[in-house]
Structure 1
């Protein structure tokens, strides 16, 4: 899934996302479970918001994303802050050139839900384990089944901003626990004219038990699983599920 023209309005779509809370949570997990290592790979980094925030906390960040356009924005943000963050255009399922390079790998903002096949998720986990030092951490999140079924599927969201307006329709997908997103943006230019950007996205989520099994098969032990930024048990109505896993020693 390539963002193309969508990259330019992605930050508008995500402007209510609590990025600072996200970075603080990741920092707390890295401190809690880490081995004081500071080298972190932000996979599916998007426009680099969390990458930059963690760099500000003192981590030696690297970013990777499939979308060239998203990466261009991430590079611009890092350069504006004079942050020496390397970025790579790579697929999380087929990472190359990063063997045993990182103390932690993170995948944020339900990016794993864009992997629509079970084997793709398994490939991503195996790719991550190859990038980590022994005892390295893997931190990520996914949409809950509850959110896919009861909040997203069948819903329409709209936002009329001064420069960008959005209509976002969600439909139940063909695959199990999946949704399809139809997004239409109207973006005003400097001459007060509007251009239209249409995007079609698909996401799929998975049972927690499946995630646990695939992590174990890839070479991880699960350290913690919780919902909605609140460490502890996952409630039935949690919308986002977070995982903290550690690579087992060879």
Structure 2
């Protein structure tokens, strides 16, 4: 049966989507904190691939069609910030690649939309994270309180690390229900996910304060790598 859902406004054309993509490019370029710079060429190349992907237009028309009665998905600024924060999530997976991260419910909508285009998403992972690498998705099992608590700690960690890179957008990294995280799938050669230029350090460098280090080591199985790809300019 043909879907006859009537959106609150007409779906954007490809041309009408372009301003959101252009705004996201500016946000991604301008939002990075200046206290630290990335010094590894592989990291820089990965971030360039993330920012310049051709997939984002498809993601935008998909989130509109999945949320036809939500005004936010017909607002250029909100759509641009959704894409920008998705880029930041992917970037964190590269820069802080030894650790797992969680997303808010708001941002998960955009990540799901990307995964809907499975061929494009696979190619994106290959370009951004390295040959034959794939960023997996793990939903939260709401029947298990311990899992939800671990996911919440991981989400708090993710927001803390993002705050080292950019000014955190509370519309996408606020106190939402935590529903998913990135996931490393083990294979014969090690891990599917790429680990570029990240060296485990103990104690961590000064990007982490001692209290956070102690809390993470006590409660979560994170490897504290201290953002080895970053340094003060």
Asked if TM exceeds 0.5, the reply is no
Higher normalized contact order (CA 8 Å, seq sep 6+, divided by chain length): 2
Which structure has greater helix proportion? 2
TM-score (norm 2): 0.25
Which structure has greater strand proportion? 1
TM-score (norm 1): 0.24
